[in-house]
Structure 1
């Protein structure tokens, strides 16, 4: 891992608005938001794509402009229902390098996903009582950074940097963790987009010596409860397609598979495909309201 290597983009004039990120570390151009004249938007994106680092372009696309992006040669790879204040977001992608387009593990990942869908029982727990879960604070930034560095040799963002972790906490990202004997053994975060009232469940990690204990399932539940308390009902996660455990946890947590992002980012030890999962938390909120009324 290392320093964040990228540059945020905000471009606007009387014709359009475009917000994105030049992701040098993962060799991709990300278009996070846009509005206005679609032809001017396409023209601007084409200019941005000419930079050498761009091996893939990924756009969070609104429903009404999906046909326009398909007409420009983009491919649909995933969806997040309810992302834009209730409106769906579609991942439209274009490749600029043949190696980036080719995924050697795609069929194997499909087979693994089939096995994930078959696991409908309780989260496996080897009879061990789950340690207390708590919300992390900026005082935990160094401890969290050390923990993540021990789990991920490579990660898309510099989460091994305490300053980065602290900055994320101060910018609407919630971290929850589980400790034993003062050591963090599992952690995850919810990165909140207040403008569109959604959150990404991310930075999910458990020490290898403590896996299969159901800890991540419990952490995700804690994150979801806080999101609902903040009026956030669109929750999604992007998980390594090769991680059976993480995909199984999301499936058992009530998330629905919404597609796969090919060769999306560098994580763990190489560039990998990432599965998209989403969940409507309003059902969770309704259940709590009914329970409260019953009491």
Structure 2
């Protein structure tokens, strides 16, 4: 495939699915579904085999996750309130032992223990002199793409392409960014799901030389305020399980750890595990 991903809906004789085909990360994800669970699973497996994907993910409703479990799927985590206040369960299946196995799981558990044991909440940081924060718009896409290209060697989505950022903005994703001397030095986004009234905090990046100020706490807090003003009250984030800083940031902001997705996406040329963090905003 020449495209990094493809998102579409499919309707069968007794099912409906919203499916995300991720060619970069060799996975299929079903974000929404209705109808016969066995038919949903059959179609998901057929698509995974067609494109040689090694991981299947479905966001299951609370009443359905035991049905996926009975078909060999594993529960890797959950998002509180995802479906308009009802929880979503990440049910997954793997096509290979290599994709299922992680050599750093215990080390990531130990890191998580240290983070969760910390009881200090986020401090009300102020922007240092010379820095400013604001909502981004389509005119900022090139500068945002430059930031992501500098911070990430590889990333699950093509955030180093201005056209991609423009597309997700037009689809409803909100970006907050921090500037210094006319340069975007830090940014984060909230990918809003208008149907189910939740948002994913994602695309968090800060240039190395500006990381001492704790900008991500400021950006995420500002995005939370923006979400509340738009009547979005549930947020979640997927953080690299090996990243002390990002996981600690989310914990300080009141997010709760809710599972880990094994070998979920490619970050800096390798598959990495991603921790799930969830928060009810009001």
Whether TM exceeds 0.5 here: the answer is yes
Is the contact made by 2:121 and 2:253 (CA closer than 8 Å) also made in structure 1?
no
Matching residue of 2:98:
99
Distance 1:127 1:171, change over 3 A: closer
CA shift at 1:10, angstroms? Answer: 1.3
Matching residue of 1:267:
267
CA shift at 1:118, angstroms? Answer: 2.6
Structure 1 Cα separation of the partners of residues 238 and 121 of structure 2 = 22
Matched, 1:9 2:8: yes
Is the contact made by 2:201 and 2:236 (CA closer than 8 Å) also made in structure 1?
yes
Matching residue of 1:243:
243
Structure 2 Cα separation of the partners of residues 125 and 223 of structure 1 = 15
Matched, 1:169 2:174: no
In the superposition, the TM-score normalised over structure 2's length comes to: 0.95
Matching residue of 1:184:
184
In the superposition, the TM-score normalised over structure 1's length comes to: 0.91
Matching residue of 1:38:
37
Unaligned ranges ≥5, structure 2: none
Structure 1 Cα separation of the partners of residues 125 and 38 of structure 2 = 57
1:1-295 correspondence runs (5 A): 4-121=3-120, 123=122, 129=128, 131-282=131-282
Structure 2 Cα separation of the partners of residues 116 and 208 of structure 1 = 22
Q: 1:224-246 CA distances to partner (integer Å, 9 max, x unpaired)?
A: 00000000001000010011000
Structure 2 Cα separation of the partners of residues 50 and 150 of structure 1 = 35
Structure 2 Cα separation of the partners of residues 268 and 280 of structure 1 = 31
Structure 1 Cα separation of the partners of residues 212 and 124 of structure 2 = 6
Is the contact made by 1:57 and 1:93 (CA closer than 8 Å) also made in structure 2?
yes
Structure 2 Cα separation of the partners of residues 222 and 197 of structure 1 = 18
Deviates further, 10-19 or 144-153: 10-19
Is the contact made by 1:178 and 1:185 (CA closer than 8 Å) also made in structure 2?
yes
Q: 1:148-193 CA distances to partner (integer Å, 9 max, x unpaired)?
A: 0000000000000001111111110000011111111110000000
Aligned residues, how many?
Answer: 280
CA shift at 1:126, angstroms? Answer: 10
Is the contact made by 2:188 and 2:202 (CA closer than 8 Å) also made in structure 1?
yes
Structure 2 Cα separation of the partners of residues 119 and 178 of structure 1 = 27
Distance 1:132 1:88, change over 3 A: same
Unaligned ranges ≥5, structure 1: 283-295
Matching residue of 1:285:
none
Superposition RMSD in Å: 1.7
Distance 1:128 1:161, change over 3 A: closer
